Structure 1
Amino acid sequence: MSLKDRLLEDMKSAMKEKDLIKKNTVQMTRAAILQVEKDNKVTLDDEGVIEILAKEVKKRKDVLPEYEKSGRQDLIDDLNREVEVLMGYLPEQLSEEELEQMIKTVIEEVGASAMKDMGKVMAAIMPKTKGRADGKMINLIAKKYLT
């Protein structure tokens, strides 16, 4: 079963279970997928869907600090639940140790030694970690090794 099919089935089951947050989250994600497909006149495979799911998670994580400033715990809980729902569709996330090891290997492969080589490192590591790690985390770890 493809990810798009799984999203559709999960949306239907969320409607039956009256799980409003899950239904809305999956519905918004499906809309984002359809929008990309229409705009680019393509049919996304699972890898393309994972990319969109990762973007949706990132969007929600980026607004979380704003919600925390507002002090609205109900909105914070809903947002965390949305992230949790979306993470269920992404491949297993890499641990910090696994990420560090991958970054060290890439740094050696591309011959990076200073911050000016950050672009080379990021270009080499991002395809390997697509949907499995946050770009900010990768960037921070890479900076640590490229001082």
Structure 2
Amino acid sequence: MSLTDQLMTDLKSAMKSHDKTALSVIRMLKSALMNKKIELGHDLNAEEENQVVVSQMKQQKDSLAEFEKADRGDLVADAKEQIKVLSQYMPQQLSETEVQQIVQQTADKVGATSKADFGKLMKAVMSQVKGKADGTLVNRMVKDLLQ
């Protein structure tokens, strides 16, 4: 089942159960997918759909961080609920161990040994784990490796 079909099924289910948070998140995600489809001018493939979901998750996590910084408990709770719903549509994420292995293998492959190679290594690793691992996790592991 494609992501769009899954969203339609879940949208109907959320409407029947009067789940306002799920309804809001699903509508937001459907809208983001439609905007990307219009931007690209063609139907989205699975990878492009996953990129949209990852992008939406990143936005929600950034919002959560800002709400926490501003000490807005009411908005923090809402953002956490939205992240919980959105996480159902995220592509399967790599474990920290798997990411660590990829970072190490890529560092060996590109010859990254010092902090000066940070950008080169990040670019190489992110191209391999795009959508499968959080960028902040990769960033932390690359920094730890290049110390």
Residue of structure 2 in register with 1:134 after alignment: 134
Q: Which amino acid in the other structure matches residue 49 of structure 1?
A: E
2:10 matched residue in structure 1: 10
> How many correspondences in the alignment?
147
The residue type paired with residue 54 of structure 1 is: V
Q: 1:61, 1:30 → 2: CA distance? A: 19
Point out the more displaced range, 47-56 or 115-124.
Answer: 115-124
Q: Which residue of 2 aligns with 1:43?
A: 43
Q: Which amino acid aligns with 1:26?
A: I
Q: For residues 81 and 114 of structure 1, do their structure 2 counterparts lie closer, same or farther at Cα, with a shift above 3 Å needed?
A: same
Moved more, 87-96 or 34-43: 87-96
CA distance in 2, matches of 1:21, 1:127: 33
**TM-score for both structures, normalised by structure 2:** 0.92
CA distance in 1, matches of 2:114, 2:145: 8
Q: Which runs of 5+ in 1 are unaligned?
A: none
In 2, Cα distance between the equivalents of 1:12 and 1:62? 28
Counterpart of 1:8, as a letter, is M
Q: Map of 1:11-30 to 2, 5 A cutoff?
A: 11-30=11-30
CA deviation string 1:54-81 (max 9, x = no partner): 1111111112122123433232111111
3-state SS, counterpart of residue 89 of structure 2? coil
TM-aligned CA deviation for residue 101 of structure 1: 1.4
> Contact 1:68–1:76 at 8 Å: present in 2 too?
yes
Q: Distance in 2 between matches of 1:74 and 1:102?
A: 39
Letter in 2 for 1:82: Q
Counterpart code for 2:66: E
TM-score of the superposition, structure 1-length normalised? 0.92
> 43-52 vs 127-136, which deviates more?
127-136
Aligned to 1:92: 92
Does the CA-based 8 Å contact 1:57-1:87 persist in structure 2?
A: yes
How far apart are the structure 2 equivalents of 1:9 and 1:61? 25
1:146 positional shift: 1.3
State the percentage of identical aligned residues: 37
